[in-house]
Amino acid sequence: QVTVRDALNQALDEELERDERVFLLGEEVAQYDGAYKISRGLWKKYGDKRVIDTPISEMGFTGIAVGAAMVWLRPVCEFMTFNFSMQAIDQVINSAAKTCYMSAGSIAVPIVFRGPNGASAGVAAQHSQCFAAWYGHCPGLKVVSPWSSEDAKGLLKASIRDDNPVVMLENELLYGVPFEMSEQAQSKDFIVPIGKAKIERQGTHITLVSHSRPVGHCLEAAAILAKEGVECEVVNLRTIRPMDIETVEASVVKTNHLVTVEGGWPQFGVGAEICARIMEGSAFNYLDAPAVRVTGADVPMPYAKILEDNCIPQVKDIIFAVKKTLNI
Q: Please give the Cα distance from 230 to 201 (Å, whole number).
A: 13
Q: Are residues 259 and 313 in the same domain?
A: yes
Tell me: the pLDDT tens digits for 30-42?
999 999 999 999 9
The per-residue DSSP string of 266-303 comes to STT-HHHHHHHHHHHSGGGGG-SS--EEE---SSPPPS
Give the residue numbers spanning the domain of 314: 198-326
Q: Are residues 24 and 44 in the same domain?
A: yes
Tell me: the pLDDT tens digits for 139-154?
999 999 999 999 999 9
Q: Are residues 158 and 92 in the same domain?
A: yes
Q: Are residues 95 and 48 in the same domain?
A: yes
> Is-catalytic flag, 127?
yes
Q: Are residues 98 and 237 in the same domain?
A: no
Tell me if 192 is assigned to some domain. no
Tell me if 266 is assigned to some domain. yes
Tell me if 39 is assigned to some domain. yes
Tell me if 246 is assigned to some domain. yes
Closest CA to 209 of 247, 166, 259, 251: 259
Tell me if 134 is assigned to some domain. yes
Q: Are residues 174 and 206 in the same domain?
A: no
Residue 301 has what pLDDT? 94
Task: Choose the catalytic residue: 58, 78, 150, 262.
Answer: 58
Phi-psi region of 307 (alpha: psi -120 to 50; beta: other; left: phi over 0): alpha
Q: Please give the Cα distance from 29 to 87 (Å, whole number).
A: 18
Tell me if 291 is assigned to some domain. yes
Residue 120 has what pLDDT? 87
Q: Please give the Cα distance from 262 to 323 (Å, whole number).
A: 18
Domain boundary among 186, 214, 245: 186
Residue 201 has what pLDDT? 97
Domains contained in the chain, number: 2
Q: Are residues 24 and 159 in the same domain?
A: yes
Domain boundary among 158, 186, 214: 186
CATH number for the domain spanning 205: value is: 3.40.50.920
Domain boundary among 120, 151, 186: 186
Q: Are residues 218 and 264 in the same domain?
A: yes
Q: Are residues 67 and 106 in the same domain?
A: yes
Tell me if 193 is assigned to some domain. no
Q: Where are the beta strands (DSSP E) in the chain?
A: 2-3, 22-26, 51-53, 74-78, 112-116, 142-144, 166-170, 178-179, 198-201, 206-210, 232-236, 239-241, 258-261, 292-294
Task: Choose the catalytic residue: 14, 27, 78, 127.
Answer: 127
Tell me if 191 is assigned to some domain. no
Q: Are residues 143 and 219 in the same domain?
A: no
CATH number for the domain spanning 16: value is: 3.40.50.970
- Average pLDDT by consecutive 10-residue portion of the chain (328 residues)? 96 97 97 95 96 96 97 96 96 96 94 95 91 97 97 98 97 96 92 97 97 98 97 98 97 98 97 97 96 96 94 96 96
Q: Residue type at 321?
A: A
Q: Are residues 182 and 223 in the same domain?
A: no
> How many Cβ atoms from other residues are within 10 Å of residue 1's Cβ?
9
Tell me: the pLDDT tens digits for 55-81?
999 999 999 999 999 999 999 999 999
> Is-catalytic flag, 246?
no
Q: Are residues 93 and 7 in the same domain?
A: yes
Q: What's this model's pTM, rounded to 2 decimal places?
A: 0.95
Closest CA to 62 of 38, 47, 79: 79
